[in-house]
Amino acid sequence: MEQERRSTVAPERAHAPHVARADDAISAAMDRYALGDQAAFAIVYDGLAARLLGFIRHRIRDSAVAEEILQQTFLQLHANRGHYVTGLDVVPWAFAIARHLVIDTLRKGDREVLVETDEPVSQAPHPDEALALRQSAAELRRRIHELPELQRSAFELVRLQGLTLAQAAQSLGTTVTAVKLRLHRATETLRLDPRDTDEQRMEPPQGGSR
Amino acid sequence: MSAGPDELRARILAAVSAAPAPTRDQHRVRAAAIYAAAAVAMAALFLLAGGVSHSEGRPAWVTGGIVAGEAVIALVVTWMALGRGRSMAGRALWIRVMTATAAPVAVFANLVAWSGSYVEPYARAGLRCMMFTTALASVMLLAITLVRRRTDATHPSAFGSAVGAVSAVWAGLGVDAWCPLTNPGHALVGHALPVVIVALAGMLVGRRFLSFATK
C-alpha cells in the first residue's frame, strides 16, 4: 500500500528527482517520529524549515511573527504525529498548516505588507538597469499580493516554493485540475502589462454591448 | 528581532521536546477507547428507548434490510469523510461537501425503498425519530471531534459538516432498527432531516474545534 501511494506521486516529480527523494526522506523521518523516534524530528525540521520560512516570509514581513508561525507549524506537526499515516507526503501537510496559520494571523492582526527584498542587484551592469530591475521586481511582488487568495496560494506554492501540482492540490485541499486553473489564471494576470490593461479599460467597448 | 537559523532551530526543537504529543500507538489506543465509550453510550440510549422491540410491528427481514443498507451508507460516508485519501491534509473540498449533501439523500432513499413492502403499524410525523437521531448523533459527533480535534488545515467547516453527517448516519443505524415506519413523509422529517441538522451543527463544530489553533 505504501509503495502504491508513493508511486502515484513519483511520476509528477520526475522533473526533480532529488526533490522527490528529499521529500520522501522527510516523510520517512516523520513516520519514525510518529512511532516514537524523537531524533527523527530534527530531520523533518531540517528538510522543511527553510522552505516554510520562505513561504511565510512572503506574506509576513515581521521576522519575529514569521518565526513564531514557523514554530507553531512545527508544534502542530509534532502534536499531530499520532495521526500521521505511513507513506503520505508530509510536505503539503506542513504547507497547509503554515498557510492556515498565516491566514489566521493576518485576519487577527492585518500584518500583511509587501515584502522588501534585500537581494543585491549588483550583477546589473548599469545603475539605471539595476533600478529598472528593482522596480520591476517590486511591481511583480505587488501584483502577486493583489491576486485573489486562491490564485495567489497556488502561484506561491508551485512557482515560488517549488511544490508539485499534486502537492499544491493536497495543501490547498483541492484537485490538481483546480490548481492548474488557478495557476493559469494567476500567470495570465501577472503576464498582462498593467499599462496595456489601463489602455484596454480606456478603450470604448467594441460591438453592441452597452 | 530575527533569530539566526541555528538559534531558531534550537528554539523550535526545544519547544517541540517540551510539548507532550502522543505517538501513533498511543493515539490509536486513545481513539479506540473514545469510540468504544461512544458506542456503549449510544447502545445504552438505544436500549433505554426500547431497543429493537420498538419496531415489532414491522417484519424482521425488512428491519434487517434497512439496517444493512444504513450500515453500508455509514461505512461509505465514514470512508469519505474521515479517510485521508492520499493526503495528510485530508480529502478535497468537493468530497467533503458531497459527503454532507449525499448522506441525507442516501438515508432517505434507503428507507423509502422499503415503503409499501409491509403495512405500517401506526402513523407518526417523525419528531421523536428526529430527536432520537440527533441525540445519538451528538454522542458520535463528540467522539469524532475528540479524536480529530485540531487536525484540519484546509476546510474545517466542510470537514465538520461531513463529520456531522457521518455521526447522524451511524445514529440512524440504531434509529432505523427502532422505528417501524418508512413512508416518505416520515423518512424525510424523522430520518433525513436530522442528518442535515447534525451536518449543519458539525459545520460550526468544525470551525471551532477541528481547525488548527494558533496558540
The string of DSSP letters for A77-144 reads HHHTGGGPPTT--HHHHHHHHHHHHHHHHHHHH--B-PPPP----TTSSSHHHHHHHHHHHHHHHHHH
Distance in angstroms (rounded) separating the CA atoms of residues A160 and A152: 10
| Substitution target from B16, B93, B144, B146 for chain A, most A beta carbons within 10 A | B16
pLDDT tier at A2, thresholds 50, 70, 90: very low
A60: β partners? A112
pLDDT tens, position by position, A47-66: 999 999 999 998 898 999 99
- Distance between CA atoms of residues B131 and B197, nearest Å: 11
Orientation angle between helical segments A40-57 and B5-18, nearest 10 degrees = 120
**String of DSSP letters for B80-140:** HHH--TT-TT-S-HHHHHHHHHHHHHHHHHHHHTTTTSS--SS---SHHHHHHHHHHHHHH
Instruction: Please compute the mean of the pLDDT values over residues A92-117 and round it to a whole number.
Output: 78
Mean pLDDT (chain B, rounded)? 94
Distance in angstroms (rounded) separating the CA atoms of residues A192 and A186: 10
Residues with Cβ within 8 Å of A79's Cβ and at least 6 positions away in sequence, in order, are B19, B21, B150
- Tell me, yes or no, if the pTM score tops 0.90: no
Q: Write the CA distances from B136 to A31, B70, B100, integer angstroms.
A: 36, 15, 18
Q: Reply yes or no on whether the pLDDT at A207 is more than 50.
A: no
Interchain pair A100, B211: CB under 8 A: yes
Q: How far A18 CA sits from the closest chain B CA (Å)?
A: 21
Cβ contact B214–A105 (<8 Å):
yes
Which of A157, A189, A191, A162 shows the shortest CA–CA distance to A173? A157
Cβ contacts of A25-29, under 8 Å, gap ≥ 24? A26/A90, A26/A91, A27/A87, A27/A88, A27/A89, A27/A90, A27/A91
What are the angstrom distances between the C-alpha of B130 and each of A3, B112, B172, B189, B195? 45, 16, 10, 7, 9
The size of chain A, in residues, is 210
- pLDDT tens-digit readout, B17-66: 999 999 999 999 999 999 999 999 999 999 999 988 888 889 999 999 99
Indicate the residue of A49, A78, A97 with minimum beta-carbon distance to B21. A78
CB contact under 8 Å between A36 and B11, yes or no, is: no
Give the residues across from B189 on adjacent strands: none
Mean pLDDT for all residues in chain A:
79
Of A78, A84, A175, the CB nearest to B16: A78
Beta strand ranges found along chain B (DSSP E): none
Angle at B211 between CA B23 and CA B133, to 5 degrees: 95
Higher-pLDDT residue of B64, A110:
B64
Q: Which residues on A lie below 8 Å from B92 (Cβ)?
A: 169, 173-175
In this predicted structure, what is the pLDDT of residue A191? 80
CB contact, 8 Å: A55 with chain B? Answer: no
Q: At what angle do helices A90-109 and A17-34 cross, to 10 degrees?
A: 80
